[in-house]
Amino acid sequence: MTSRRTFLLSGLAALAGSSALANAPAVSLRPVARKVSSLAAGADGLQALLSRAKLPGHAVCAVADVKTGKLLEASGSGEALPPASVAKALTALYALDVLGAGHRFDTRLLATGGVAGGVVGGDLILAGGGDPMLNTDHLALLAKALKAAGVREVRGRFLVWDGALPQVPAIDPEQPDHVGYSPAVSGIALNFNRVHFEWKRAASGWAVTMDARTEKYRPEVATSQMAIASRAVPVYTYAEKSGIDHWTVASKALGKGGSRWLPVRNPGAYAGDVFRTLARANGIALPQAKPAKSLPQAQLLAQHHSPPMDVMLKAMLKFSNNLMAEMIGMAASTARSGRPASLKASAAEMNRWAGEKYGMSGTRLVDHSGLGEESRMTPADLTGALVAAYKAGHLKPLLKSFQLRDANGRPVKNHPIKVAAKTGTLNFVSGLGGFMTAADGTELAFTIFTADLKKRARIPRAERERPQGARGWNRRAKQLQQQLIERWSAVYGS
């Protein structure tokens, strides 16, 4: 009986003597690599997802279990990229830790020289207290309170004090002059330091107004002026003359009519101008507002309190308001180490706090809003801070729900994955950081930063509001963010 071994050996010998092995194969007979699923566990699955996205530039991320703090997976977690408005999540934690959830800012009316017979013997001072949500309605209430206090006349000056915070001409001076999201910052702000510009077609040319409108009031302002210039480009020009914001707009860009909010560069003058109008409506004539170099000892006549800090932070994160982030961040730095010399110095103080509080060694922010070009943050830094914040119960209740979408970009109602996060968007920069609850209830903290810095660096300043290609790039970045969230739910949510 022939053994199996003898059979195999004789068969191989027969093949060796035939033409079957006479020539080597033209192609090496190696196993064919199988396509790795983007939902596969481990680093290969994550890298497969990032590679298939083919997003120009860099994409880095990290995800951790909020209960254990364990880092589940990451790619480039130590690489620092611009966080854009995701930085506001750190600013919120900074304010909560330093100022507290119940902190309020006060805007006050003060008088020197005493008040007798309805007459202020000295100066009337509108004193800003760093309230980032002060609006025209609130100034109207202060004007009414002044009247209710019996004041009819002011014999001295009308002063505006904005020295509670440093004066910053623009949050990011590299932005176009006319964008409302980069106004000036100081210790007083009105209507987020924006003025409403409206134009309507008239019998000859256009009728133009510049006002400090709310739903209840529309006081016209003298501290921001607009002139229509006969040209096509540039659409806007800006110049400051004697404390007045002078704008021009191209006639060929106006069409039949429209409106937009323009930034205010002289916040104290703007607030004083509007309050003077509202006081006059209450029968109190005030001289033209002048800046107060310091805040003297004075009698309190009326005051307005801001909402508590946690309410303001929720609004800041929901609407991603840059001015709120800067004023709140600088107020926290002032309380922590004294009035900072500049916005960048205040951001440096927040960086030091983040290093002490959360061990964030790779974070270097130049402001509190994320608008600045040079700000950098790593996914590892933010994810670690998010885990700590989750355990303390501070941040998640303030974050806005992030809507997941279907293949056509439409929001999916009742999606099994729930996300509460802060988005961040600049031209060719997109970020997302926060918390997600997988379909099975597993809760994770995550950070995603994407950026094409080379393409961003090539954008001329005049085109930074809507540069070519930015919208499409950011749309693809947001698609990648959702794919990562769906991966993490599938891989770690069971």
Mean pLDDT value of segment 164-185? 96
Provide the token pair at 147. 């009247």
**60-86 per-position pLDDT tens digit:** 999 999 999 999 999 999 999 999 999
Question: CA 352 to CA 338: how far, in whole Å?
Answer: 14
pLDDT tens across 231-252, in order? 999 999 999 999 999 999 999 9
What band does 203 get if pLDDT is binned at 50, 70 and 90?
confident
Contact 64, 387 (CB under 8 A): yes
Confidence of residue 35 (pLDDT cuts 50, 70, 90): low
Smallest Cα–Cα separation from 144: which of 270, 279, 301?
Answer: 279
User: Tell me, what DSSP letter sits at residue 185?
Assistant: B
**In terms of Cα–Cα distance, which of 260, 275, 343 is closest to 126?**
275
* Range 278-281 contact pairs with CB under 8 angstroms and sequence separation of 24 or more: 278/136, 278/139, 278/140, 278/142, 278/143, 278/217, 278/219, 279/143, 279/146, 281/143
pLDDT value, residue 3 = 42
Domains along the sequence of the chain with CATH: 43-102+308-492 (3.40.710.10), 106-165+270-305 (3.50.80.20), 191-264 (no CATH)
Give the tens place of pLDDT for each residue, 252-277: 999 889 999 999 999 999 999 999 99
| DSSP annotation string for 255-305 | TTEEEEEEE-S-HHHHHHHHHHHHHHHTT-B-PPPEE-SS----EEEEEEE
Question: For residue 234, is the peptide bond before it cis, meaning its omega torsion is within 30 degrees of 0?
Answer: yes
pLDDT of residue 40: 75
